[in-house]
Amino acid sequence: MANCSVKKGDNVIVIAGKDKGKVGKVLKVNTETGRIYVEGVNIVHKSRKPRNAQEKGGIITQEGTIDISNVMHVCSSCGEVIRVKHELKDVNGKQKSVRVCPKCGAALDEKKQSAKKAAKKVAKKKADKAKTESKQD
C-alpha cells in the first residue's frame, strides 16, 4: 500500500465494522499491510503466561488493527468528517505537500485536538442538524 493519508496522531472515525461510529486517535500505522491501530477500537483479549516470578499473567486487553479504508479523518478545527485534500505550500522557500481540510481549509499536519473533543463536536453538529430538521417539519 503506497499512498495513505492517515498518520500517527490523527483523529479518525470508524465508518465500517463492529466499531462503526467510534472516534479515536491513530496509535500506529503500518503502510505495508494497510492497517492501523486506533485508540479504543477493535479491542482484543490475549492471554499472557508469566515468564518469571515477578511477571504477572492473565488476560490482557489491547487494540487490534483495522483496515485504513474503514476510517475517515475528523478535522480538528471544524469537527467535520472529511476526505483529506493535498495542497502545495511554500515552507522556507521550498514547495511542500500539506494535508488540508477541504471544508474549512485548516492544515491537518499542525497541532491536533484530542479525539474526545472532536467526537463531541461531531455529536453536537449532528444534534443541531436534527433540531433544525425537526423545526422545519
User: What is the reported pLDDT for 1?
Assistant: 52
String of DSSP letters for the chain = -------TT-EEEE-SSTTTT-EEEEEEEETTTTEEEETTSSEEEEEE--SSSSS--EEEEEE-EEEGGGEEEE-TTT--EE--EEEEEEETTEEEEEEE-TTT--BSSS----HHHHHHHHHHHHHHHHHHHHHH-
Q: Is the pLDDT of residue 27 over 90?
A: yes
Whole-model pTM over 0.85: no
Mean pLDDT of the 53-72 span: 93
Name which CATH class applies to 11-47+59-127.
mainly beta
User: What is the reported pLDDT for 135?
Assistant: 73
Mean pLDDT of the 53-69 span: 93
Q: Is the pLDDT of residue 30 over 60?
A: yes
Is the pLDDT higher at 70 or at 135? 70
**Domain boundary assignment for the chain:** 11-47+59-127
Q: What is the pLDDT of residues 33-60, one digit of tens each?
A: 999 999 999 999 999 999 999 999 999 9
Q: What is the pLDDT of residues 84-126, one digit of tens each?
A: 999 998 878 889 888 999 999 888 887 555 666 777 777 777 7
Mean pLDDT of the 62-84 span: 92
User: What is the reported pLDDT for 137?
Assistant: 60
